[in-house]
Amino acid sequence: MIFRGGDIQRMGLLVFALLASAPSLARAQNTSADAGASTPAVVDGGDESADADQGESEDVEANAAATSGYTPPASAESPLTITGYVDLGFAHATGNGSSFPPNDTRLPADYGEDAFAPAVNSRGDVASTNPNGQFVNHFLPYSMNIGDRPSFLINTVDLDVRYAPTTMPVLLFTRVQALPRFYDNSGDVTPVVVEQAFARVAPFSTQEFALTAGKFDPVFGIEYLENEANLRTGVVPSLIARYTTGQQLGVKAFYRYEFASIWSAISLNVACTNGSSEVPALQTNTISLTGAPDFSARLGYELNLPSMQIKLGASGLLGPRNDQTDATVQQRAIGFDARLFIAGFTLAAEGIDLHQDPGTTDEKLTGTGDGVFASEFDVRGWYLFAGYALPFQAGALHKITIYGRYDRRHAYFEGFADVLEDRYTAGFRVDLWDSLAIKGELVFNQELRGAPNVDNNVQTSSLVYTW
């Protein structure tokens, strides 16, 4: 981490640039509201009571309305709902925008640094992955390709289609996202990604039980609840999000049982999928490369008192690495998570211990390209988040949230030096009306051991309009 005294001033300029565009978006929101359009509320990160219109990003363990079984609605509302959001950004990364120093000649270059550190948006896309001409083995994130140049960004254009027929206990959901990007070798491109596409059945009216098939958010941990920019309190994901927030394709089952007399509940979420919960930049979820599934699960406990909530969870994962074609090359992970909500304060922590066996062939198939070998890999990491939300009833202003997060990650590729790093993140979020969120964030990355000290801090901001 290299800190400069002007970071705070530059952060102010970034946020001002987004604030300047807020009035026009507000007028658009008012126009749609006058026309009778539905405008779902922006959901705070960490509050898993999101409406099912937000897809699988709500925490199913607490979303009883979505999983308690089928009851025909009394209203004649349309079963089809179309919503979405747009995430606009403005970001500036220091150094050259990447984690690769020009004087580090160790190879592969992406084994000696953390290319994921200079993230600029809620998808975890970084400012740059330029390795200065050095060989990489595709332990890489996706990139916005802005380098060290301050830039406006369109991070995500999201379209959600939800269909809940009144004649059966079924929910059909599809989330499609357009991602405008610029690449040196191909110019302007806009990939269209099917982020989610699933059917969910809640067959019992007396039990909180649901079966889901398709592409959905993972069951491992809790950070997936903030995968989408309109749900995330801040801007960038944690240092361990690459291992826990990737969508999965397969089937899953959820069950929750409430102990009303003691204000408590337990839940179990189990999935059988192509690959793990790693992000698609590291392991694909589109197909199974090995022909064998991965299994993951989370066991949760919640204490829901009138003035306080405590949520605890333990997660596990086991199955073949889906960057390999040999099903005997295994990966396994365990995780923990804890959350406390009281009087506007949120405390959250999550950790993971992941091991991946070495590959048996000269191949490594990832979303950013093909590597030439798959090393044995171990990582331990965790984060601690603290935030305070101050509600307002003052016209457009609904809420102001301030927050901070500390991340720590210790990773080791067999035969290479272990890399220990941490990160300090501080920011704010302002919720206006029911559909506009403005966020500003400072990200300070620090290399503690195994990687050279590199100038890879980030000042980033985001304006999210939910419709």
pLDDT of residue 73: 52
- Alpha-carbon distance of 351 to 85, in angstroms, equals 30
Q: What are phi and psi of 184, to 5 degrees?
A: -60, -35
Confidence of residue 228 (pLDDT cuts 50, 70, 90): very high
Place of tokens 């998570």: 337
Least confident residue range of 135-139, 250-254, 435-439: 135-139
Give the sign of the dihedral formed by CA 110, CA 115, CA 116, CA 117. Answer: positive
- Alpha-carbon distance of 218 to 273, in angstroms, equals 9
pLDDT tens column, 259-312: 999 999 999 999 999 999 999 999 999 999 999 999 999 999 999 999 999 999
pLDDT tens column, 306-348: 999 999 999 999 999 999 999 999 999 999 999 999 999 999 9
pLDDT tens column, 101-134: 988 888 999 999 999 999 999 999 999 999 988 9
Structure tokens at 166: 């009144």
The predicted model scores a pTM of: 0.84
More confident residue, 361 or 41: 361
Amino acid at position 282, single letter: L
Least confident residue range of 52-66, 186-200, 209-223: 52-66
Confidence of residue 170 (pLDDT cuts 50, 70, 90): very high
Q: Contacts for 310-315 with beta carbons within 8 Å, 24 or more apart? A: 310/338, 310/339, 310/340, 311/61, 311/62, 311/222, 311/337, 311/338, 311/339, 311/340, 312/337, 312/338, 312/339, 313/221, 313/222, 313/337, 313/338, 315/219, 315/220, 315/221
pLDDT of residue 361: 87
Q: Where are the domains of the chain?
A: 7-466
pLDDT tens column, 231-244: 999 999 999 999 99
pLDDT of residue 362: 87
Chain mean pLDDT for the chain: 87
Structure tokens at 190: 């806009």
* pLDDT > 90 in the chain, percent: 77
Is a pLDDT exceeding 60 seen at residue 31? Answer: no
Q: Which residues contact 355 (CB under 8 A, 6 or more apart)?
A: 331, 332, 333, 377, 378
Evaluate whether 465 touches 95 at the Cβ level (below 8 Å): no
Q: Which CATH number fits domain 7-466: 3.40.190.10, 1.20.1560.10, 3.40.50.300, 2.40.160.10?
A: 2.40.160.10
More confident residue, 64 or 399: 399
Distances (CA, A) of 354 to 7, 78, 278: 34, 45, 11
pLDDT tens column, 15-28: 444 444 444 434 33
* pLDDT > 70 in the chain, percent: 84
Give the residue-averaged pLDDT of 218-224. Answer: 98
pLDDT tens column, 135-166: 999 999 999 999 999 999 999 999 999 999 98
